[in-house]
Structure 1
């Protein structure tokens, strides 16, 4: 399995956002899923959010299909209309969707509420950081620094954290994560492909 095969990273520290492809190896998803809260059924694997950052605002759950066979990410949302919802969690695995975005759903594969597309962007950005076991000692200081910049976060597992930040601080977070990756403290990607 792969974490969506190719992710995208902001590659111009201190400058404008630009994107370069990076290959997240299969071990990232395998290790990250250790504590994701994967729930298996006969048909699907549901990847859940144990502690959605805006869970107190949410009143509904939708799903987003992942490119891996039958896997779905469960997303906490606030219902806006019959088929539109505000995202109340930070996506662990899907791209081009952020906390606070209003999304539209469709019926698919016997399920009524499957993420289809973003209707209204929130002005927020998603980053993901992956810590190998030998890098665990850096997690608390990294999270402390990111909170100081104004970031919110959700842990998928002991290794994978999804990071949210408003667009006015996104470059600062990208620069910080780039420095930490260069220092060997973590690996990171952005949740934005640059295609949308």
Structure 2
């Protein structure tokens, strides 16, 4: 299993508010530990506000906006969860298009918790097996995906690898799986 990202740049897409902080910071640390360079992408410049469930957490500096970058600038995409984060992102056409570019170009994508809402909006779950926070099961199956209640699911059916996990408890397995997918 390859785990060296050799300085490659990985996009983390997050809304200005509502990202579950640990679902941003732990995968970020996994990418850094593997030698990758994470970059925070958002819908506006400045910083984003992380959350610890419903309580405000830390703020994080945005490296670029979805208007300024494309999938060609990165080896893969991480979509952190939190309820508000993907709910907001799926209403922003450029954020949805940015996400879809990774599927169109065959680059790996990793999404945790509620983040598959953005994948549903991007039309990227049809024919794919994935997991999420359980409340998204109906949304995923209605969009043509096969939902599975597992710690981590890596799906290679389609143009790219799709790594998904359910919740913060799954973060260690999620981090290992996304690094492996990005290193391949």
TM-score (norm 2): 0.29
Name whichever structure is richer in helix by fraction: 2
